[in-house]
């Protein structure tokens, strides 16, 4: 019945009101709710211009989300609320897809086999997969290559539509980039950085527990001498031997975000000229001296320009696409029967 109505609508759009009435009648006769555990009986759940969405199609799209919800073990009331919300969201996504597909048909947009193959190749390259491992990954997710190819073609078609309707009309100017740069000094303005020096005794790959303890004791002596006024160069000469290599010196200037959390935490409480305690790191025990705290320039507008342009472009495209869909919905016949 559903397929028969769908074909009639495609060939005879004037039959839409009658088809909608039949759809409502089917929905009234079969008020089941399989998403909430009732008997599965196929029926029409939405009319979108000349297209119909069946309950079977909706449940197919819903299944991955329902599986995750059921696996979470929510209380019955909470589970029911989540299922109803997800079902509504998925149905709205399917309606949007129907609307965009209808626009693709209206503009006679096509996708060649070569375009689809190229899109699949990009996915494989981005995930470092060859043809065999790619097909294995699809199989693990329960997707056949033919189904994936069909989905990819739909994606290519929709991307072409979005480019035609939205992306080609978005222009980011230098003024837009500067306005964003000036309005976000926390991202691109001055940044506190630490000018550091260090002293360390590096562990070897086969350092045994006894040697580690001896190294710790030697680092404690070094720390005492540093606090007593000896320089880093002096303690390196004093404590280095044929069996122990003490190393260190000026390291440079670092952003807090680039430092190990243990080092960053120690530096936050220090003033220029002070030494940290002994900090265990992957390389061995280290003592850090904070030479200075500096407010260094962050990214210049030239350095940040490409990043800002990409962000503005994506934000504007997302906004315009949402508005375009809203306008498309407003001039379309959409009837939901859930």
Q: What is the pLDDT of residue 142?
A: 81
CB 26 within 8 A of CB 44: yes
Is residue 196's pLDDT more than 70?
yes
Is residue 202 located within the same domain as residue 278?
yes
Q: Looking at the domain assignment, is residue 42 inside a domain?
A: yes
Radius of gyration of the chain measured on its C-alpha atoms: 32
Listed as own residue / partner, the contacts of 260-265 with beta carbons closer than 8 Å and 24 or more positions apart are: 263/288
pLDDT on residue 108: 95
Q: Report how far residue 245's alpha carbon sits from residue 302's, in angstroms, rounded to the nearest whole number.
A: 44
Contact 54, 337 (CB under 8 A): no
Domain boundary among 92, 108, 124: 108
Please give the span between the terminal C-alpha atoms of the chain, in angstroms, as a whole number.
18
27 Cα distance to chain centroid:
39
Look at residue 83 and tell me if it is in a domain: yes
Decide the pairing of beta strands 190-201 and 246-254.
antiparallel
Q: If we measure between CA atoms, which residue out of 17, 44, 48, 16 comes closest to residue 31?
A: 44
What percent of the chain has pLDDT above 70?
Answer: 87
Please, what is the average pLDDT of the chain?
A: 85
Domain membership flag for residue 239: yes
**Residue 63 reports pLDDT greater than 80:** yes
- Bridge partners of 247, per DSSP, are 200
Q: Are residues 99 and 115 in the same domain?
A: no
117 and 97 belong to one structural domain? no
Q: What is the DSSP string of 100-112?
A: HHHHHHHHT----
305 in a domain, yes or no?
A: no
pLDDT (0 to 100) of residue 41: 60
Does residue 131 have a pLDDT over 70? yes
> Who has greater pLDDT, 140 or 121?
121
Greater confidence, 115 or 208? 115
Query: Is the pLDDT assigned to residue 204 strictly greater than 80?
Result: no
Candidate from 104-108, 234-238, 267-271, 296-300 with smallest mean pLDDT: 296-300
Q: Which residues contact 126 (CB under 8 A, 6 or more apart)?
A: none
Q: What is the pLDDT of residue 297?
A: 66
More confident residue, 18 or 227: 227
pLDDT band at 270 (very low <50, low <70, confident <90, very high): very high
Decide if pLDDT at 265 tops 80: yes
pLDDT, residue 223, reads 94
Residues 292-314: pLDDT tens digits? 998 776 778 888 899 999 999 99
The pLDDT value given to residue 6: 41
Please provide the size of the chain in residues: 338
**pLDDT at 186 (0 to 100):** 72
Assess whether pLDDT exceeds 90 at residue 156: yes
Q: Is residue 325 part of a domain?
A: no
In terms of domains, do 126 and 67 share one?
no
- Domains contained in the chain, number: 3
Say which range, 98-112, 218-232, 254-268, 287-301, has the weakest mean pLDDT. 287-301
Range of the domain at 217: 190-297
**Are 80 and 46 found together in one domain?**
yes
| Overall average pLDDT of the 185-204 stretch | 84
């Amino acid at each position: 019945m559903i397929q028969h109505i769908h074909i009639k609508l495609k060939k005879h759009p004037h039959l839409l009101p009658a088809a909608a009435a039949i759809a409502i009648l089917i929905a009234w006769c079969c008020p089941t709710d399989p998403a909430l555990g009732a008997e599965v009986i196929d029926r029409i759940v939405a009319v979108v211009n000349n297209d119909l969405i069946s309950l079977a199609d909706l449940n197919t799209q819903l299944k991955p989300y329902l599986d995750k919800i059921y696996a979470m073990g929510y209380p019955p009331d909470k589970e029911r609320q989540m299922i109803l919300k997800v079902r509504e969201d998925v149905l709205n996504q399917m309606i949007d897809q129907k609307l965009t597909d209808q626009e693709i048909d209206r503009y006679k947009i096509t996708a060649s086999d070569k375009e689809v193959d190229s899109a699949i190749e990009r996915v494989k390259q981005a995930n470092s997969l060859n043809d065999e491992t790619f097909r294995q990954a699809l199989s693990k997710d329960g997707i056949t290559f033919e189904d994936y190819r069909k989905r990819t073609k739909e994606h290519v078609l929709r991307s072409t539509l979005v480019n035609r309707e939205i992306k080609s009309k978005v222009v980011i100017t230098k003024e837009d980039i500067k306005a964003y740069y000036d309005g976000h000094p926390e991202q691109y303005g001055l940044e506190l950085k630490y000018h550091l020096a260090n002293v360390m005794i590096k562990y070897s790959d086969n350092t045994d527990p006894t040697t580690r303890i001896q190294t710790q004791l030697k680092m404690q002596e070094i720390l005492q001498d540093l606090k007593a006024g000896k320089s880093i160069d002096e303690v390196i000469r004093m404590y280095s031997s044929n069996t122990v290599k003490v190393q260190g010196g000026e390291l440079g200037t670092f952003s807090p975000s680039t430092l190990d959390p243990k080092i960053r935490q120690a530096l936050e409480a220090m003033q220029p000229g002070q030494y940290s305690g002994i900090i265990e790191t992957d390389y061995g025990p280290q003592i850090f001296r904070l030479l200075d705290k500096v407010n260094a320039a962050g990214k210049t507008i030239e350095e940040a320009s490409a990043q800002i342009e990409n962000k503005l472009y994506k934000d504007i495209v997302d906004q315009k696409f949402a508005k375009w869909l809203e306008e498309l919905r407003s001039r379309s016949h959409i009837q939901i029967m859930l």
